[in-house]
Amino acid sequence: QRLPTRNVFYYRCPDHRKNYVMSFTFCFDREDDIYQFAYSFPYTYTKLQNYLDNIEQRQLDFVQRRPLVYSVQKRRLDLITVTNPSLLVKGKRKKVVIVTARVHPGETPSSYVCQGFIEFIISDHPIARLLRDHIVFQIVPMLNPDGVFLGNQRCSLLGFDLNRVWNEPSHWAHPEIFGIKTHIMNLNEDPDFEVDFFIDIHAHSTMMNGFMYGNTYDDASRLEKHGVFPRLLSRNAEDFSINNTSFNRDAFKAGTGRRTLGGCLQESTHCYTLEVSFFSYQTSANSQAISYTED
């Protein structure tokens, strides 16, 4: 049940350094009931496990699932590999695309987008089959399973923002980031693999549509190449906004996956943050707003 829009307020608050604040009014009219509130459409750890279980039961020869590591509370950090099995022959050089989501547990739209990507890349669509024949896709759909289970907005069980510890993750305090970073660095050093893309999916609370954050480089040629993928995405995805896309290396983003991996992987690797709106996307100024959900 959604709260009526007349009871929900979203505004810049002078008491909070003019940051956005959401407040709402609600009447608790049943003493014995338990009330739960969700900032956005829920996407739970259990929902993900059920979804991945269903895929596993289909026994697709081009899909592999394994736990990369376990969280502090021993929840699975699933790694999904999607590719033509013939591509995994040892000694054969192959490109790898790594997609992660839900490092911030409250950003549920990122899970719906990640699920949509998985649905497409394992489908019978001709483009999906062609991509599987040439690329190894590795997907970690939920980087912060403890935070998701506990209903946290941004942090892990131990109170860490896991998207600020990529530069020096701890195997005991941030096993999820320690595990995925170690895995990516091993791929980077393996002559059989070339990490082509790293895309970390998030949800944004103030802007519409989807857009990207990329890195900026002193090398003009590298920076120009880094801007190609977002431009291609804007031409092929109606919900993607190239105008909201930006490239930066501000200090506030130090320790993020995009920034850290962009500085330690091969120069040919492109690292991005893909943001999708908590609210919705619009294909034109007068079109209907569409939320990022399973529908």
55-99 pLDDT, tens digit per residue, is 999 999 999 999 999 999 999 999 999 999 999 988 889 999 999
Question: What domains can you pick out in the chain, each with its CATH number?
Answer: 45-277 (3.40.630.10)
State yes or no: is 224 an active-site residue.
no
Task: Give the number of other Cβ atoms within 10 Å of residue 180's Cβ.
Answer: 27
Q: In the structure, what pLDDT confidence band is assigned to residue 203 with cuts at 50, 70 and 90?
A: very high
Which amino acid, one-letter code, is at 260?
A: T
Could you report the per-residue pLDDT of 243-261, keeping only the tens digit for each? 999 999 888 888 999 999 9
Q: In the structure, what pLDDT confidence band is assigned to residue 282 with cuts at 50, 70 and 90?
A: confident
Among residues 168, 189, 275, 294, which one is catalytic? Answer: 275
Q: In the structure, what pLDDT confidence band is assigned to residue 234 with cuts at 50, 70 and 90?
A: very high
- Which contacts (CB < 8 Å, 24+ apart) does range 14-23 have? 20/205, 20/206
Average the pLDDT over each of 49-53, 143-147, 251-255 and give the range with the smallest value.
251-255
Asked if residues 108 and 208 have their Cβ atoms less than 8 Å apart, the reply is no
What is the structure's pLDDT at 250? 81
| Mean pLDDT within 118-123 | 98
The answer for 100, left when phi > 0, alpha when psi is -120 to 50, beta otherwise, is: beta
